Structure formats: C-alpha cells, structure tokens
Chain A
C-alpha cells in the first residue's frame, strides 16, 4: 500500500459512504421497522425521531456520489450505467421514502396514512437491499470489458451472494434503527423496543455469519489482504466485540453506548470491505485484469489535489453542522405543533 493521493481518495470516499451508512443507516432501519408497530401515535414517534435529521443524512449519499464522480469517474460511469435498472429502482425507493415522510402527516385519513406508511417502509427496505446488492456485486466481481464497460446483465446482478449481502444490509440497518429508536423513545414503547433490538441483533448475526462464510468460500480475493497481514484480524475481532457489546449495553440501560457500539460495528464492517477491495474499486470477474482500480479509474492528480483542498475546508464545517444539529435535537422525541 502506497499512501498517495489515490489512496487518500479511496479512504475519503470510503469515509463518506461509512458516514452515510452510519447516519442514514438508522433512518432506513427505522423505515424498515415502521410497519411492525400499528398505532398512529407510535408511527408518528418513529417518523419524528428521524424527522429533523433524515434529510441531512441523505446528503452523505449525494456527496459520496459526487466525490465518487469527481475522484473516480470511471467507477461512477461504469457502475451507474451498468446497474441501470437497479439504480432507477433505488431512485424510486428514495423518492417514495422522502415524500412519504413529508406527506404522511398532512392528512388525517386512515387510508392516506396507511398508504404513506407502506411507501416509507417499502422505500426504506428496497433502498437498503439494493445498496447491499450493489456492494455484494462489486465485491464478488462483475463482468467488465477491456474498455471498462459493464458486460453483464441485470439478472446476473441478482446472484445469491449479492442477495445475501443485500439482506445483511437490511438486517444491519434494522438493528441500528431499533437501537436509535430505543434511544429516542420513552415509556411502554421504549420497553417494547428493547425487545425488538434483541430480535434484530439475532437476525443480523445470522445474516452476518452466513455472509462471512459465503465470503470465505466463494469470494476468496476479499480476504487475501487480511491473510497476508494477520494483524488485521484485529478488525473482525473488534467488530465481533462491538456487536456482542450491544445487547450488554441495552441490558444495562446504557442506550447511548449501545448505539455507539452499533455505529462502531458498521464502521468496522465497511473498513473490512475497504481493506478487502483495495486497490480495486470494482472487481472484474471473470477477467480480473479489467478491474477498475484506484489508478485506472481515477481523475488527474490535479483534480484529486483540488478536491482535497475542498474537502479540507468543507469536512470540518460539515462535521460542525452535523454535531450541532444532533445536539439541538438530542433527547427523547416529543410530538408538538411542528411535528410530522
């Protein structure tokens, strides 16, 4: 590994997408859990728990996409055109989920609210699933031609491994969302949600174990780096500890610590993914020589430098805004006249 501009941008795009997974992950997870509660007031609490922040969370995806476009245009172009129908479906899922949050509270009719509840939940599940599906395919490898163009089909993207990664992503976000809701609610709902967390953890651990086994068996190139640098085994170990720590903290009523553990496990998972991929950005199978790497897919050094300056100015601002918004809206969610 050489610590050059391309590597820095690999890490920065990774950091943006990790920020997205941690932040939008919990509001996608809240969406995935939304239909499990039936009462209107509880559903309103769910939505208002994420109300002030979901939109800012989604900006991490928009900015991550922009950074990918700028730093690695070949990846952006190949993945977005190659995964055409999947991308269009993600867009529809994100659109329905966004407008559902805003529209739901605007009318009191039962059918109206039910319609937007279903949109919100389905949109959240479908976008999580498709994000995971895309990651799974990028890791497993997709057929790439010599000119970097995608040479496969939409149905080829729906392979068992990628679907498993998709399902694991949904499970991860559900667990993360459930913990967030525990943090934001009180009373009976809070106590019920604590049980949900345990079920969500079990669901996630099953998916995670299956994905790990499948990766070891069918995607050996993803574990090559770790095999060569055994000290990196610390990461999966830390990840396992972070996940195991969640039920412990929930049991002791340390909800914030449980949530931070969940954030840490997401960060560890994506770091593992990044280590497995490096220096590839999209793995080409069956012709690994056609893989898009951080060198073959990158913009010029000049652009990477300019963007590094932009990031150095912008990222501290973004972290400051994000921290202040979360600080202002800290504590249990309460419904008032400006709520959804």
Chain B
C-alpha cells in the first residue's frame, strides 16, 4: 500500500480509538456536576454514593483519553509534517490554547475529584467537579475550531512559493469563528452528552434487571434520561444547522451525503446504495424534494450536485452516504428511545418493562457508533482535501517517512490498542459488577 493510504489508515485508527473516550468524559463530566450538585442541595447520601462511583469510572475513561490523545498531537508532526508546515501558523495557536486553557484545568482538578475527598471541603470538591467538566468542554472547543478551520478556512492568507506555501493568520477571531465552528462544536457537545447519558442509563438499567443497587440505579436513570432526552433533541437541531452550513460552505460534501449528482431539486434518501459508476442511488427509498426543503425551505430549489466537481475533486460517495445515513438513523432512534423513557417514567411504568431496560442496556452503543460515523462522514466528506480547497491530503504527508515505517507503526498501534480495549472493557465490567460501595452511603465517615 502507498504512504497516503497507510497514513490515512493510521490516523483513522488512532483518532477512532481515541474518540471512544473524550465524549464519555465530556458527557459524564456534565452528569457528575448534576449528581454532586444534587447531593449538596438535598444531602441525600444516595447522590454521594452515585458521585463516588461515577468519579471512579470517570478516572478510568480519562486516563485512556489522555494516553491515546497525546498520540494525536504527535501524529500531525510525525505523519503529516508537510501539512503541519502549511497550517502551523494557524492551527498551532488553537492547539496551544487547548493545552493552556483546557488540559491544565482538566488534569489539575481531576486530582481533587479522584483523591481529594478527605482533603478539601464538599463545596471545594464540587467546584473541582465543575472545573473538570468545564475543562473537558473547553478542550473540545479548541480542537473542533482547528478541525473546522480545515473544513472552512477563514482569517488567513497564503504566503511563499510552491511547494513551500503556507497559511498565515490575518484575523484570529475569524479563525476561531470560522463558518462551521459554532455548529460543529454544538454538534460535538450534544454527541458527547448523549454518550455520557446513555452510558449511565445503560449501566443503571443493567442493575435494575439484575435487581442490584435498585435505589442507586433508579436515581441514576432519572438524571441520565433527562440529559439524554434533552441532548438527543438538541442534537437534531445542531445536526440540521450543521448540514445547512455544509450545503453552503462545502457543497461537494453535502452532495455526497445524499449522493446528489445533478444540480437540481434534491431528494432525501432514507436509505440506499450508491452506484458511483452510473452516478445514481440503487434500492433507495426517498422523500422527493425533501433535501431542498430542509436546506432552503423550498422543495423546488436546486442543490449543487457532484457533477459540478471534477472527478478528482469529489469525495468517495458511498462510504459517506452510508455513514451519514446510519448516523442520522441512530440519532432518530435515540430521540425516540429517550422520549419513550420519559413518557413511561411519567406513567410510572419505566422500571417494570424488562424489554425496555434491555434496550437501555445496549443503547450505550448508539451514541458511540453515531459519533464515529458522524466524524467519518465529516472527514471523508472533506476529501480529497486536507484543508478544504487549499491543500490536497496527498500533499500533506511527511516527505521523509516511508510506507514501511508507517506499516510498522500501524501494526504496533493495532496490537496495543486492541490490548487497551480489552483491558478497558474488562476493568469497566469489573467495576460495574462490583457496583457502588455500600460504605459511601455513610457520609458521616467523610468530611462534611
């Protein structure tokens, strides 16, 4: 395989694995703020026990996020050094801001969250929880800003001669508020809140099915369900807004989402299979004019088709079509599931329907898959550009790295990440099987 393919495989593999963890820390961080806040407000020891249990789980998730995250920072330089030279002036300040504003906050106060129970007052501990949650949210801002700049570059000018052209900042705020950053940050946040909420929902539903830690589980489910229901609906809103933005700023990507080849009023497919040679969708079910309606509020208005772009400037269509549609389908499923849960809670039947609790147990996979598929369609949808319309992915590679070296590192990463995944699941399962500690209900043992 060539260097380009291998470097892309390695980036996809390492970012995909990394992205299991940050959404869980962001989402679980938010839930921890609610749990500990409820304890301080109500003094009900159940919430204390809940916070202690989920903080330990948070610690496990966090360390895997850190360990796999440092790989991402290094990889821009190791595998994509020409790209790094090109964007360093712009991209670097976002990464440095992430380190200085977000990571220090998050890692510093995590120490109090995990080990500070008997060292600081409850209010101080709660403050640390809020700061860790804020740090996790800030870190998402900067990395998404940097990524959005690759999708919709703004606030820069180009200097130098080929092959040593590079982008330099002209306006920092235009870089930060580039056309796609706000929509995409919200989209990432909602995906993360869903990941955290459905994770807590899943573990708690499992306890109820096993008739263990019933009070703990019921109280956890209620918090998680409220967050899940809110985040799932807001995710639909942010997804819509993101898609409208993509139609405006990255028309080739939007066209690939719906395999829309001719510039004409566009349909919305529920599902289908793209035949790229014949440039049409087979076995599809579609809502005529619906895409035009969603983008422009007018089902007759034409949407730019893929044929407007030279074949070498088009992204691969079917993989984007499939991942995008799967993401949307999962998103709709999560809305229905969360709101069904709320309805049954209102009817007092939430904890008696075993089939529904089993669906909750497996629902944890939903946001994880949707997050991965969403990024897949967003990043593959940017191809063949590494910086949209400015720099081709094939021109961003490291010039001195060989495909043999990358193949070696892919094999090593695969083995190590497989091991980490197995260990993560094993330890998480072990923690869940042990459940919340009974002594944590006795809050008198801890500092008030």
Give the B-binding residues of A (Cβ under 8 A).
51-53, 55-56, 58-59, 61-63, 65-67, 69-71, 73-74, 76-82, 84-85, 87-88, 90-92, 94-96, 98-99, 101-103, 106-107, 147-151, 299-300, 302-303, 306-307, 310-311, 314-315, 317-318, 321-322, 324-325, 328-329, 336-339
Contacts and interface: CB of A to CB of B under 8 A. Distances in A.
B103 A63 contact: yes
A73 B96 contact: no
A339 B111 CA distance: 11
A269 B99 CA distance: 25
Interface string B23-34: 000000000000
Candidate in A56, A82, A101 with the most chain B CB atoms within 10 angstroms: A56
Contacts of B59: 102
A299 B88 contact: yes
Interface string B61-98: 01110111011011011110110110111111101111
B77 A55 contact: no
A77 B88 CA distance: 9
B116 interface: yes
Contacts of A150: 400
A306 B104 CA distance: 20
A88 B398 CA distance: 14
Interface of B: 59-60, 62-64, 66-68, 70-71, 73-74, 76-79, 81-82, 84-85, 87-93, 95-101, 103-105, 107-112, 114-120, 159, 164, 166, 168-170, 172, 398-401, 405, 408-409, 412, 416, 420, 423, 427, 430-431, 437, 439
Contact of B63 (A69, A87, A98, A321): A98
| Dominant secondary structure at the A interface | helix
25 contacts: A52-B115, A56-B104, A58-B107, A59-B99, A62-B103, A65-B73, A66-B95, A70-B91, A71-B92, A77-B398, A80-B84, A81-B77, A84-B401, A95-B71, A147-B164, A151-B400, A303-B89, A303-B169, A306-B93, A306-B172, A310-B93, A317-B100, A322-B104, A328-B119, A338-B117
A151 to B, nearest CB: 8
A55 B169 contact: no
Contact of B73 (A62, A71, A96, A314): A62
B253 to A, nearest CB: 27
Given A55-B66, A59-B99, A69-B77, A338 B115 contact: yes
B386 to A, nearest CB: 14
Contact of A66 (B96, B107, B117): B96
Given A59-B107, A69-B76, A91-B74, A98 B115 contact: no
Contacts, number: 228
Nearest to B142: A66
A69 B91 contact: yes
Contacts of A61: 70
Q: Which 5 A-B pairs have the closest CB atoms?
A: A73-B88, A80-B77, A70-B92, A63-B99, A314-B100
A202 B89 CA distance: 45
Nearest to A62: B99
A81 B78 contact: yes
B81 A78 contact: yes
Contacts of B97: 310, 314
A59 B431 CA distance: 27
Nearest to B431: A106
Contacts of B90: 303
Contacts of B87: 73
A322 B63 contact: no
| Dominant secondary structure at the B interface | helix
A246 B105 CA distance: 33
Given A94-B67, A150-B400, A73 B101 contact: no
Nearest to B446: A337
B371 to A, nearest CB: 22
B430 A299 contact: no
Nearest to B63: A102
A118 to B, nearest CB: 14
A321 B105 contact: yes
B95 A69 contact: yes
A151 B119 CA distance: 53
Contacts of A82: 400
B168 A87 contact: no
B324 to A, nearest CB: 31
Contacts of B79: 81
A55 B96 contact: no
Contacts of A99: 63-64, 67, 420, 423
A65 B401 contact: no
A106 B116 contact: no
A329 B115 contact: yes
Given A80-B81, A81-B401, A302-B169, A328 B100 contact: no
A95 B439 CA distance: 33
Contacts of A325: 108-109, 111-112
A52 to B, nearest CB: 4
B246 to A, nearest CB: 28
Nearest to B115: A52
A221 B443 CA distance: 64
A282 to B, nearest CB: 13
A61 B71 CA distance: 12
Contacts of B400: 81-82, 84, 149-151
A302 B67 contact: no
Contacts of B109: 321, 325
Contact of A307 (B68, B84, B96, B164): B96
A149 B74 CA distance: 17
A289 B412 CA distance: 37
Contact of B92 (A66, A81, A302): A66
A89 to B, nearest CB: 9
B279 to A, nearest CB: 39
B96 A300 contact: no
B441 to A, nearest CB: 14
Contact of A55 (B85, B91, B107): B107
Given A81-B77, A315-B100, A339 B115 contact: yes
Contacts of B430: 106-107
A9 to B, nearest CB: 11
Contact of B108 (A66, A81, A306, A321): A321
A11 B70 CA distance: 23
A84 B405 contact: yes
Contacts of A65: 73-74, 99
A73 B111 contact: no
A62 B70 CA distance: 7
Contacts of B74: 65, 80, 87, 90-91
